[in-house]
Structure 1
Amino acid sequence: MNSTISRYFEAFNAKDTDAMLACLSDDVAHHVNEGKIRVGKALFAEFCAHMSRCYDENLTDMVIFANEEGTRAAAEYIVNGVYLETDAGLPEARKQTYRLPAGSFFDLEDGKITRVTTYYNLADWTAQVSA
């Protein structure tokens, strides 16, 4: 299942939402760092569109882990970004750059991602874009 996770992150870095969606189950549960759980590909696509408007991000230093059964996986990486447009409730965007460690956790079934949970330190991000 590492290949599914690798394809998901390759699509992220290519800014190819359709390819990301192809890695997901129809009823994917998307757990974001700060916010409600979104269920389904349509809400995931809306989230991606919002993120693309506000942030330009590239993930590096990727390490992917998976269990032997291929039902669970995790990834640790660095988010290298530019804050493009002010996001509601966050500091004003002025094209600030940031570099932030993050991680994602996945459930997989039949080669598709059924859950994505992403964590990062919001206080660290806020400090970087507020400097």
Structure 2
Amino acid sequence: MSAATARATIQAYYDAFNAGNAAGMLDRVTEDIEHRVNEGAIRHGRALFAEFCSHMGVSYREELRDMVIFVSEDGTRGAAEFVVHGEYLQTDPGLPEARGQRYVLPAGAFFDLKGDRISRVTTFYNLNDWIAQVST
């Protein structure tokens, strides 16, 4: 994959995210996607990734802004840095109670790419910062 194709794939993934289009996100990942989230379990496969997307769509409304995408020259790896502007809609088990709190949270992600699809996404953010913002 070229660096330009890798960049376009990651951009399309995040465009779908910002549009609330989980199906569009799923179109950008491989069947054997490895999804690693901050402070969470590793999910293997598109079905578990789809479940995660569905859960997130109910519990949170988020828009990613100030996106910067980086890709390796060979197009097999990438990264993105962004700021999450969100609203906490429904209580997530083990986390503070949701009351429509708004938050702004710097975050980033790392990617492996195969062909024109994402085969791994690892997301990082400061969970303690998020908890502090939604607990006030």
* Bin for the TM-score computed over the shorter chain: over 0.9
User: What is the CA–CA distance in structure 2 between the aligned matches of 1:52 and 1:112, rounded to whole Å?
Assistant: 22
Q: Structure 1 unaligned runs (5+)?
A: none
* Equivalent position to 1:72, from 61, 65, 77: 77
Instruction: Verify: 1:26 aligned to 2:35, yes or no.
Output: no
For 1:54, the equivalent position in structure 2 comes to: 59
Alignment: residue pair count: 131
User: What is the CA–CA distance in structure 1 between the aligned matches of 2:84 and 2:30, rounded to whole Å?
Assistant: 25
* Equivalent position to 1:114, from 106, 115, 119: 119
CA shift digits 1:39-88 (9 cap, x unpaired): 11110010011111110000000000000000000000000000000000
Displaced runs of 4 or more, over 4 A: none
For 2:50, the equivalent position in structure 1 comes to: 45
Q: Which amino acid aligns with 2:106?
A: P
User: What is the CA–CA distance in structure 1 between the aligned matches of 2:41 and 2:99, rounded to whole Å?
Assistant: 27
* SS of the residue 1:68 aligns to: coil
Structure 1 residue 111: deviation in Å?
Answer: 1.1
* Aligned-residue identity in percent: 60
User: What is the CA–CA distance in structure 2 between the aligned matches of 1:19 and 1:80, rounded to whole Å?
Assistant: 20
For 2:134, the equivalent position in structure 1 comes to: 129
User: What is the CA–CA distance in structure 1 between the aligned matches of 2:94 and 2:111, rounded to whole Å?
Assistant: 28
Q: Structure 2 unaligned runs (5+)?
A: 1-5
CA RMSD across the alignment: 0.5
Structure 1 residue 127: deviation in Å?
Answer: 0.3
Structure 1 residue 5: deviation in Å?
Answer: 0.1
